[in-house]
């Protein structure tokens, strides 16, 4: 089965070999207070910075999921009022989780077909602005120039970005925001259970001012431990090892980005020639490069998904309110050219 699911998704072919190697090297039983772990942790952080072009001055921490990052941001970087700007189900979910911890959180919705107007996202109230760079549910993305403008227009706010389904798949301008996070079961091509959180010096300063320390995953504690290349609880050591091994072998993000973009445009063209199926999002300027949402009539989509499964292709279900009349295709780096080609030849007669 080839998984085109946009998370959890196809993992790199080398994962079984790396896992075996991890066992042979004793990584599976490695003590997370040992010098060996600290060395591995340090190396993984350094690879993340170099391969993804993350500024040297930024701090990187590990959590177990993007959902955990949502909570950590609410608990440790938000005193009262965060502002959530979104156009789809993941942004909405984030807002929902935050409201349980910080009931004063507010939201600003925008239409998936239109670019977010940064002027409308200028605030005198609030302290932290939460954006979803890539909305995995509807296949849209937030242009990075817009994120940059939001940062410029709101100099007193922290800008926080969920990049779960785009980090490691496209080039991100890390300087344009204060917190970025992603779990690894999407563009990183790894099994689930680990997430990466990237923080600017400004975010670290805010963290210290708020100084929240009531939880095992309080940012202050995680950051203090990471100063010594350690973690506040026993982390996903295998996950970190696999991340390190994958990063050692992937190209730099600029090259990965080019490939992602080329593949995306080829998909776009493929569906432009279709009578029955088409991209859900009409406006090419807001389409995600890493997740495609395809629209069709519900009956046809049902049949198509079942037929695909019999042929060995796992397609992504439509998400939330889009469940019935869409399906999704991941355009993640771990997918192979030959796999994309065979999915296209499967879909061709059904277009
Ligand atoms: C998948 C996804 C999440 C949730 O990730 P978990 O690792 O399951 O917590 C959050 N945000 C976006 C945009 C996602 O695509």
Q: Compute the mean pLDDT over every residue in the chain, rounded to the nearest whole number.
A: 97
Q: Which of 5, 7, 71, 89 has most ligand 1 atoms within 8 Å of CB, for mutation?
A: 7
Q: What is the pLDDT of residue 350?
A: 85
The model's pLDDT over 226-261, given as tens digits with 9 standing for 90+, comes to: 999 999 999 999 999 999 999 999 999 999 999 999
Helix, strand, coil in percent for the chain, rounding step 5: 45, 15, 40
Query: Which residues of the chain fall below pLDDT 70?
Result: none
Which DSSP symbol is given to 11? P
pLDDT at 303: 92
Share of the chain above pLDDT 90, in %: 97
**Ligand 1 nearest-atom number relative to CA 69:** 9
Distance 132 CA to ligand 1 centre (A): 10
Using CA atoms, how far residue 321 sits from 36, 114, 136, in Å, is 47, 19, 13
Render 232-275 in DSSP notation, one character per residue. Answer: SS---HHHHHHHHHHHHHSPPHHHHHHHHHHHHHHHHHHHHT-S
CA distance 161 to 132: 6
Longest CA span, the chain: 60
pLDDT per residue as tens digits for the range 159-209: 999 999 999 999 999 999 999 999 999 999 999 999 999 999 999 999 999
Q: What pLDDT is attached to residue 273?
A: 82
**CA–CA separation, 238 and 174 (whole Å):** 27
Protein residues whose CB sits closer than 6 Å to any atom of ligand 1: 7, 65-67, 90, 132, 136, 162, 164-165, 183, 195
pLDDT of residue 321: 87
pLDDT at 275: 84
**Which conformational region is residue 193 in: left (phi greater than 0), alpha (psi within -120 to 50 degrees), or beta?**
left
Whether the predicted model's global pTM rises above the 0.85 cut: yes
Q: Which residue CA neighbors atom 4 of ligand 1 most closely?
A: 66
How far is residue 102 CA from its own chain's centroid? 23
Q: If we measure between CA atoms, which residue out of 8, 290, 285, 257 comes closest to residue 139? A: 290
Ligand 1 pocket test: pick from 183, 316, 317 the residue with the most ligand atoms within 8 Å of its Cβ: 183
* Residue 228 pLDDT: 97
Q: Does residue 107 have a cis peptide bond before it, meaning omega lies within 30 degrees of 0? A: no
Strands in the chain per DSSP E? 2-3, 59-63, 82-86, 106-109, 128-132, 134-135, 140-141, 158-162, 179-183, 195-199, 278-279, 291-295, 313-314, 316-317, 326-330
The pair of three-digit structure tokens given for residue 187, joined into one six-digit string? 């563009």
């Amino acid at each position: 089965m080839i998984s085109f699911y946009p998370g959890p998704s196809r993992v790199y072919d080398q994962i079984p070999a790396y896992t075996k190697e991890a066992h042979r090297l004793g990584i599976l039983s490695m003590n997370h207070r040992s010098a060996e772990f600290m060395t591995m942790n340090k190396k993984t952080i350094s690879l993340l910075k170099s391969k993804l072009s993350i500024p040297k001055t930024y701090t990187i921490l590990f959590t177990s999921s993007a959902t955990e990052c949502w909570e950590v941001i609410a608990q440790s970087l938000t005193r009262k009022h965060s502002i959530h700007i979104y156009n789809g189900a993941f942004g909405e979910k984030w807002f929902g989780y935050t409201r349980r911890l910080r009931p004063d959180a507010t939201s600003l919705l925008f239409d998936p077909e239109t670019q977010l107007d940064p002027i409308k996202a200028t605030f005198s109230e609030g302290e932290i602005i939460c954006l979803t760079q890539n909305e995995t549910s509807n296949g849209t993305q937030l242009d990075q120039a817009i994120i940059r403008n939001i940062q410029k227009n709101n100099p007193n706010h922290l800008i926080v970005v969920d990049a779960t389904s785009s980090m490691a798949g496209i080039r991100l301008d890390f300087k344009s925001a204060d917190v970025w996070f992603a779990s690894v079961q999407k563009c990183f091509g790894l099994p689930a259970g680990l997430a990466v959180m990237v923080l600017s010096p400004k975010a670290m300063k805010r963290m210290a001012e708020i100084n929240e320390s009531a939880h095992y995953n309080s940012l202050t504690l995680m950051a203090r431990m990471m100063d010594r290349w350690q973690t506040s609880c026993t982390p996903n050591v295998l996950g970190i090892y696999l991340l390190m091994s994958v990063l050692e072998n992937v190209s730099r993000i600029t090259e990965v980005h080019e490939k992602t973009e080329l593949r995306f445009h080829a998909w776009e063209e493929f569906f432009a020639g279709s009578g029955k199926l088409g991209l859900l999002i009409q406006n090419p300027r807001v389409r995600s490069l890493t997740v495609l949402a395809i629209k069709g009539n519900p009956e046809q989509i049902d049949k198509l998904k079942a037929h695909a499964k019999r042929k060995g292709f796992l397609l992504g279900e439509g998400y939330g309110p889009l469940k019935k009349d869409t399906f999704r295709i991941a355009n993640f780096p771990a997918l192979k050219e030959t796999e994309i080609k065979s999915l296209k030849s499967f879909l061709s007669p059904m277009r």
